């Protein structure tokens, strides 16, 4: 759209029902604050600017909402006198003369751009106020949308509704679009002659009609308008978001054996023909390229998995893990801030941290890169086509050259040249008959303790 648009996001609530030390809109959905989801949908709907009405944790909320491609101004609401009062906290921004004003809530992270675009289209066609509503099987507690001949007559709260109106299943979702040229005049006419003495934004419908303007309602899926008031509702929103994102990925060509057990982050990127087995968790910052396999019970965060690589089962990739093409990180392995070369294998019970592993190198079971000296982290470098025997400890900083072999059970504290063999363990000694002598001694000691 060529029309300018200001989004007013109401995010000043006290969030008391969350029983939390931080503002409700900062709680994450899909690994990022819910208010960031709202802003993303607004950007997709073509907004020009955001007026963020804040209260508690104002600086943190503003920071969480910021994006580099839009202008965000914060307005502090010091009193809580209703939604109409909250919108007018952004009066300075509204007065700049935008074509469209969108009023949304910071705790509706499931909203998409589609209904917002429909509402903006209606404004462009001459409607003054557009209310976004939803159909529900159980309308109890919601304001009903009274629609006649295609126009919205009023929003009737349940306590004020007649028995006939209570049977209406078309309900107010709270989100609204207003003609920007009339917004301040309409908002200024909202009164507080009610039991609570508050200014209700919903009154704007009857106000605009009384002034000769028009109001309509447009429908959005009920789930998109789901707000969050407590932890139980937050979990429900997370479940809906996860289901939506899984579906998008599977439609794009990702296979999931048990999708309901896979958990994704807002920025998870997964290519075609990737197979994801049950009980896999993706934290923020993960990219998985085409043809990779993520086996069951693996946890990935801040990691890159190249095409054809396999992870797990029971593997953990921490931030900075970068797996090369056709590489393998197997069961009960952890990789952190490490480059695993193409075709390299880290198969069993191994920790690789702050390291570079060359192409086609094999890391044996129980290997550890000892990267921390208690104060600083150090790097281990392992060349291509090397072989690290099981139960080896590589004490960084240290390097193992191309084609080198580290014998099983070694503690490597010095660099190993290319094609060399390193033994970092004591020579084995055999003492014939000693096991029998020791066993008899231990048995005698045990018997003596029982007396």
Q: How many residues does the chain have?
A: 451
DSSP string, 370-389: E-B-SS-B--EEE-TT-EE-
Nearest to 175 by CA among 105, 99, 82: 105
Gyration radius (Cα) of the chain, Å: 31
Collapsed DSSP state (helix, strand, coil) of residue 337: strand
What gap in Å lies between CA 6 and CA 358, rounded to an integer?
52
- Tokens found for residue 296: 């069951």
Q: Is 348 tagged catalytic?
A: yes
- Tokens found for residue 274: 């990737």
- Tokens found for residue 130: 């557009």
* DSSP state letter for 263: B
Nearest to 129 by CA among 54, 73, 189: 189
Question: Which one of 27, 85, 247, 348 is the catalytic residue?
Answer: 348
List of residues 6+ apart from 118 with CB closer than 8 A: 218
List of residues 6+ apart from 433 with CB closer than 8 A: none
Helices (H) and strands (E) in the chain, counts: 10, 35
What residues act catalytically? 348
């Amino acid at each position: 759209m060529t029309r300018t648009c200001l989004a007013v996001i109401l995010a000043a609530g006290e969030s008391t029902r969350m029983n939390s030390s931080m503002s409700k809109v900062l709680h994450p959905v899909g690994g990022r604050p819910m208010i960031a989801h709202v802003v993303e949908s607004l950007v997709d709907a073509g907004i020009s600017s955001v007026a963020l009405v804040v209260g508690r944790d104002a600086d943190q909320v503003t920071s969480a909402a910021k994006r580099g491609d839009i202008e965000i101004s914060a307005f502090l609401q010091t009193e809580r006198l209703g939604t109409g009062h909250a919108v007018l906290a952004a009066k300075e921004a509204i007065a700049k003369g935008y074509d469209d004003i969108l009023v949304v809530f910071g705790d509706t992270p499931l909203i998409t751009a589609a209904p917002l675009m429909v509402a903006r289209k209606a404004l462009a066609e001459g409607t003054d106020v557009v209310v976004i509503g939803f159909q529900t099987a159980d309308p109890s507690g919601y304001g009903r949308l009274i629609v006649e001949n295609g126009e919205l007559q009023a929003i009737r709260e349940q306590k004020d509704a007649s028995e006939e109106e209570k049977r209406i299943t078309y309900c107010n979702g709270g989100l609204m679009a207003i003609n920007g040229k009339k917004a301040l005049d309409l908002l200024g006419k909202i009164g507080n002659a009610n039991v609570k003495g508050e200014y209700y934004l919903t009154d704007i419908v009857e106000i605009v009609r009384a002034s000769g303007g028009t109001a309509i309602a447009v429908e959005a899926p009920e789930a998109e308008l789901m707000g969050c008031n407590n932890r139980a509702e937050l979990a429900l929103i997370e479940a809906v978001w996860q289901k939506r994102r899984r579906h998008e990925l599977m439609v794009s060509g990702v296979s999931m054996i048990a999708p309901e057990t896979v958990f994704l982050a807002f920025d998870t990127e997964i290519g075609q023909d990737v197979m994801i087995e049950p009980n896999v968790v993706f934290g923020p910052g993960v990219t998985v390229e085409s043809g990779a396999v993520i086996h069951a019970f693996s946890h990935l965060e801040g990691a890159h998995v190249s095409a054809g690589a396999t992870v797990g089962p029971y593997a953990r990739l921490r931030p900075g893990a970068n797996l090369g093409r056709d590489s393998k990180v197997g069961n009960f392995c952890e990789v952190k801030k490490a480059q695993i070369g193409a075709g390299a294998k880290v198969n069993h019970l191994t920790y690789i941290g702050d390291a570079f592993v060359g192409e086609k190198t094999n890391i044996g079971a129980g290997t550890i890169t000892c990267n921390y000296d208690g104060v600083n982290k150090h790097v281990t470098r392992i060349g291509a086509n090397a072989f690290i025997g099981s139960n080896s400890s590589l004490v960084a900083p240290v390097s193992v050259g191309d084609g080198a072999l580290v014998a099983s059970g070694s503690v490597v504290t010095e660099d190993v040249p290319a094609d060399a063999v390193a033994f970092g363990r004591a020579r084995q000694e055999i003492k014939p008959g000693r096991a029998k002598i020791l066993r008899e001694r231990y048995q005698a000691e045990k018997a003596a303790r029982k007396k």
